Amino acid sequence: MQASAAALPAPGWSNISVMSAGHFVSDFFSGILPVLLPLFAVQYHISYSECALLLTIFSVACNALQPGIGLWADKYRITYLLPYSIALSALLICAAGWSEQYWLLIAVLLLSGLCSAFFHPLSAGVVPSIYPQRHRGLAAAVYIAGGNLGAALAPFITALFLTIFNLKELIYLSVPGFLICALMLKRHLHQREFTAPAVDEVSLGHLVRSRPFVLLNLSVYLRSIPHCAFMAFLPLLYASLGGSSMDGAFASMIYMIGMTAGGLAAGSLADRFSLKSIILGSYFIFALAGGLFILTPNTSLIAMALLFIAGAAGYAAVPAGMIWSQRLMPRHASFAAALMLGFTFAVGYIFTPFTGFLGDLYGLPRALLYTLLPALLLSLLTLLPVHEPPADKYVLR
């Protein structure tokens, strides 16, 4: 059903800020499960492999389903579900501690992950309509940065909360999900205007024939392999070198805060420079900073600075890639964004066992280096022949 003009959200920084806050809350609750796993292991008497199964089920539901939801959103106009996806995903994962049996816990986490999966494609379909006219790149980066910051702070805030309250009282932590849901409804951020009377279905054949779209996404996916490897193995890297658990946790937080800064920087630069130059530059900086860090993985200021820069460069391709992708497919903004914001992580994490296998053979420092350099070289070579579309091809609504 077409929204009336009066009900559509207005372009501007206030609505971008609310959408960024919604992204913060959504990714915050998507990021608390690793902190809960040790408690679940005790409560349900489950093994490491059963804990890993919980994380896998939740991650697949969160990330791998997003392109399909994006297609559904572009065809059937289900943006009205956006605020409720945040509230329900928060409520379900915070209520997981009330599950009496392991199979029920799996079901609750699966539903929470599924609700979370709706946020990225639905919100990305709304966000282009509220970009400030002259700062589209920066606005996209602010929206994305909210999610990165939420994911970065989730483990620390959740761990602190659980030092005061027990697992069943985690339900109180879901309150922000309901508050942001109410705020988004009040500001009509669940409404989206479509540019055509009917949105055509995107077929697999159409995507395969769109060479720029395929190569752009393939390039960003290749970049996600070392990016996800860093996120997955930083704590284990420090542990393997004799560091404490706090060393690994701090390094992970620095890397993820770098991701937030990198997304903001890339979005700001996108208003002044070509998207292609930003993405290619980010690959080069990621390879340089990440490689230098791997050569000296310690807790020194220099090592942390390199890790921060690596995180920033590793993520910078995402906001630029999302803008580029939506220019190529302006009538399918939700689907295009879902491939960049969610599915890219699903692809990256699929390859983390390969880095782990290399780590078993050669040690984690060399494994990360062997993952980083070839993947980024392939990313660069894949994107080089692709031509960037003009900015005026982008459709705001």
Burial 322-360 (b: 16+ CB within 10 A, else e): bbbbbbbbbbbbbbbbbbbbbbbbbbbbebbeebbebbe
What are the phi and psi torsion angles at 122 (to 5°)?
Answer: -70, -45
- Residue 128 tokens read as 């282009």
> Which domains are present in the chain?
9-186 (1.20.1250.20), 209-384 (1.20.1250.20)
Query: What is d(CA 23, CA 145) in angstroms, rounded to the nearest whole number?
Result: 8
Whether residue 222 has pLDDT greater than 90: yes
Query: What is d(CA 159, CA 209) in angstroms, rounded to the nearest whole number?
Result: 47
What's the whole-model pTM score? 0.73
CA 185 centroid distance within chain: 23
What are the phi and psi torsion angles at 360 (to 5°)?
Answer: -65, -35
pLDDT of res. 391? 65
| Angle formed at CA 113 by CA 112 and CA 114, multiple of 5 degrees | 90
Other beta carbons within 10 Å of 135: 17
pLDDT of res. 376? 95
Whether residue 197 has pLDDT greater than 70: no
Q: Which tens digits make up the pLDDT trace of 292-313?
A: 999 988 889 999 999 999 999 9
Burial 169-194 (b: 16+ CB within 10 A, else e): ebbebbebbbebbeebeebbbbbbbb
Mean pLDDT of the chain: 82
Mean pLDDT on 100-126: 87
Do residues 237 and 365 lie in contact, with contact meaning Cβ atoms separated by under 8 Å? yes
pLDDT of res. 86? 93
pLDDT of res. 199? 41
Map residue 282 onto helix, strand or coil. Answer: helix
Q: Among all chains, which residue has been given the structure tokens 């816990």?
A: 105
